[in-house]
Amino acid sequence: MSDNEKKSDNPPPRSEDHKRKIPPANSKAALVWLLVMLVLGGLLLFKNYTPKEVKTLKQSEFEKLLVPPAKIQSAVIVNDIDSVFDIEGQYLPENGVKPVNYRTKVIYSPYLSELLRNTSVEVKSNNSGFWHIFWVGIAPVLLIGAFIYFISMRQMRMSGHNALDFGKSKARMIPPDELNVKFDDIAGADEAKEEIAELVEYLKDPIRFQLVGGKIPKGCLLVGEPGTGKTLMAKAVACEAGVPFFSISGSDFVEMFVGVGASRVRDMFEQARKHTPCLIFIDEIDAVGRSRFSGWGGGHDEREQTLNAMLVEMDGLESRNGVIVLAATNRPDVLDPALLRPGRFDRQVVMDLPDINGRRKILDVHIKKIRIDSSVDLDVIARTTPGFSGADLANLCNEAALLAARRNREAVSQAELEEARDKVSYGSERRSRKITDRERRLTAWHEAGHALIALHHEFCTPLHKVTIIPRGQAYLGATFTMPKEDVYTKSKRELEAEMAMSMGGRAAEELAFGDITTGASADIRHLTDIARHMVCIYGMSDKIGPIKVGDFSIHPHLRIDGPTPDQLAPETAREIDLEVRRLIETALQSARDCLSTHRDELDKLANALLERETLSVDEINTLLELDPPPSAPDGSADAAETETSAPTTDHGETRSDSIQA
């Protein structure tokens, strides 16, 4: 049998785009219903149509027209309630040729009855009979019902489902040739690719594993921060293995109807078993897989029934060979333990934020899509973007390309890449903000104080640049530092240096102006967090000792900063506060001593900032006639920066907090 014949026997399933197209038969039915409604509405309006020029007659005038010779030409009783008649018709006025429409309300009397019997005009009644009941009672109901039916059926056809399809799975089957994603397209996640490659090998050659008695994991949970490439990894697995790929979101299982979620789970697995071996990918599984009895509803709500159905389908009494479930979440802490046990999601693959080498590889992937010139140094960008995910780096490259286009440049330069990096990290420059001369001077000395501490303190993170231009939430200025490499631990001396740098702005204000401003509020908040962590978590206080004091755990849905008061004895809490205050005062005094020693450099750097607004570290070294900063000393932590950006200290009461941990 040829390949074409095989394809004809098993045609690929139709995508949602094909399902959403309304067939011609449905279009004709909709047109017929529309015509029926128009005809019924027209007949109803025509039947109840009353000419505008109608003369209202009193009962005496009507009786006078009935007296021979009668002027009444027609009389129709349209309403009859408790011997009160509503009569409509036409009469011929005196000395008139054209009939006049009339309407009258009369009360039954023997005299009126005698006049009606003696007149030659036939009196008709229109308030009884089948047609009256139909037009008054039945036709409006039919018209409204047809309209509602037409609208509801149209909505169902537009959503791609028939009236009874709400229990069917919304999972969309994507053939492998439509994915076009390979492992080579994913950079910065080498360990995750190696761990998940076993699934690909099993899907390609399952007999090799079965011969030695091995069982492939039934499920694999991709865990990581947003933008780390979890969905991209799932597509790459399906594309590399060459098997059908069912994709669905966790929120697609839950509907307003009870039992729909569980029905969709069963239907999804039933469809998957017809295409084994295959992959099911559930994105954001925490929407349906939250832990049961955790305060998120009763014991029998719709979400729990959906979760129970998923647990049974993944590992119940019946075998589910050939169906591998991939799921992605950035909240594994809220998932139900039964969902994470072996036999269901046997393996958790961590998609972590990339390190400096991973960021370099990711930049290589995305930089191919834009034109760059010879000045671009991706190593600098990779080193200055700690904490960036793959999505952030892709956005950085795109922002650089847009910035180069706005500047009418043919290619992206290093300047555009660095500007895009700062924009993604801290926001756009706000040069239009009107700042007084006094605030510019305060900002210049404030930022110069931060910069000098970073330059002269032995254990500070190396300075990158300083600016007094507002950017993002930094209302007045910012100081940027750039680590030489990624670090995951910090020594006590490095934390003390970071605290001293945070106090550099306040110390510079005291030294230059003899006063302090609100611009150091964010610096104080950052400084206090470091000091409290040193005392309560890191064990860096000789007085408290190397113990953990208080509960600093982060609740998934509540913001809790610092230890709760009821978990500490009053004496212990007082000792902690005194130690935190001692560390802060020591950092402030260290900043004062450093700036007093280099007072001339402080004034020179602040005046240069007033003139040029932004200075790089090379420009500062040239200005102050300093040598480039030496390499990190042996006593510092050798590893690499916390997975966050280097600290940003800025002048302004409202701004983003320092990002260095």
pLDDT exceeds 50 at position 356: yes
pLDDT exceeds 50 at position 653: no
Render pLDDT for 391-439 as a digit per residue (tens, 0 to 9).
Answer: 899 999 999 999 999 999 989 999 899 888 888 887 777 766 677 888 8
pLDDT at 79: 67
pLDDT at 614: 87
Q: Measuring CA to CA, which residue among 57, 61, 67 is closest to residue 114?
A: 67
pLDDT exceeds 70 at position 661: no
pLDDT at 439: 87
**Higher-scoring residue by pLDDT: 203, 463:** 463
Per-residue tokens: 620: 């500062």
Segment 372-390 mean pLDDT: 87
Q: Which residues, other chains included, contact 123 with Cβ-Cβ below 8 Å and sequence gap of 6+?
A: 75, 76, 77, 116
pLDDT exceeds 50 at position 21: no
pLDDT at 579: 92
Indicate the CATH number for domain 55-127: 3.30.720
pLDDT at 507: 93
Question: 4 pLDDT band (50/70/90 cuts)?
Answer: very low
Render pLDDT for 590-636 as a digit per residue (tens, 0 to 9).
Answer: 999 999 999 999 999 999 999 988 888 888 988 888 776 554 443 33
Per-residue tokens: 427: 């926001």
pLDDT exceeds 60 at position 235: yes
Segment 113-140 mean pLDDT: 67
Question: 583 pLDDT band (50/70/90 cuts)?
Answer: very high
Which range in 36-50, 71-85, 119-133, 544-558 is most confidently predicted, on average pLDDT? Answer: 71-85
pLDDT at 585: 94
Domain coordinates in residue numbering, the chain: 21-47+132-158, 55-127, 172-351, 362-426, 437-649
pLDDT at 582: 94
Question: 348 pLDDT band (50/70/90 cuts)?
Answer: confident
pLDDT at 40: 65
Render pLDDT for 486-532 as a digit per residue (tens, 0 to 9).
Answer: 777 889 999 999 999 999 999 999 999 988 888 888 899 999 999 99
pLDDT at 578: 92
Q: What phi, psi does 177 have (nearest 5°)?
A: -75, -10
CA distances from 68 to 64, 87, 110, 121, 645 (A): 9, 19, 17, 11, 106
Contact 108, 83 (CB under 8 A): yes
pLDDT at 652: 39
pLDDT exceeds 60 at position 660: no
For the chain, give the percent of residues with pLDDT over 70.
73
pLDDT at 436: 82
Q: How far apart are CA 613 and CA 615, in angstroms?
A: 7
pLDDT at 496: 92
Burial 478-514 (b: 16+ CB within 10 A, else e): bbbbbbeebbeebbebbbbbbbbbbbbbbbbbebbee
What is the layout of strands, in order, in the sheet containing 245-249? 172-174, 245-249, 278-283, 323-329, 219-224, 347-351
| Fold of the domain built from segment(s) 172-351 | Rossmann fold (3.40.50)
Helices vs strands, H then E, count in the chain? 24, 15
Segment 257-284 mean pLDDT: 81
DSSP letters of 624-658?
HT-PPPPPPPTTS--S---SSPPPEE-SSSS-PPP
Segment 554-583 mean pLDDT: 70
Q: Is the dihedral of CA 59, 65, 68, 73 positive or negative?
A: negative
> The domain at 437-649 falls in which architecture?
Up-down Bundle (1.20)
The residues carrying an active-site annotation are 447
| Fold of the domain built from segment(s) 362-426 | Helicase, Ruva Protein; domain 3 (1.10.8)
CA distances from 12 to 5, 57, 180, 322 (A): 13, 77, 17, 19
Mean model confidence pLDDT for the chain: 76
**Higher-scoring residue by pLDDT: 319, 385:** 385
**Higher-scoring residue by pLDDT: 660, 7:** 7
Q: How far apart are CA 344 and CA 308, in angstroms?
A: 12
At residue 346, the 3 state secondary structure works out as coil
Of the listed ranges 43-52, 97-106, 224-233, 261-270, the one predicted with least confidence? 43-52
Render pLDDT for 243-269 as a digit per residue (tens, 0 to 9).
Answer: 888 888 877 776 656 667 788 888 888
Q: How far apart are CA 137 and CA 132, in angstroms?
A: 8
pLDDT at 146: 74
Question: 567 pLDDT band (50/70/90 cuts)?
Answer: low
pLDDT at 412: 92
**Higher-scoring residue by pLDDT: 531, 197:** 531
**Higher-scoring residue by pLDDT: 32, 597:** 597
Q: How far apart are CA 115 and CA 85, in angstroms?
A: 15
Contact 218, 346 (CB under 8 A): yes
pLDDT at 588: 93
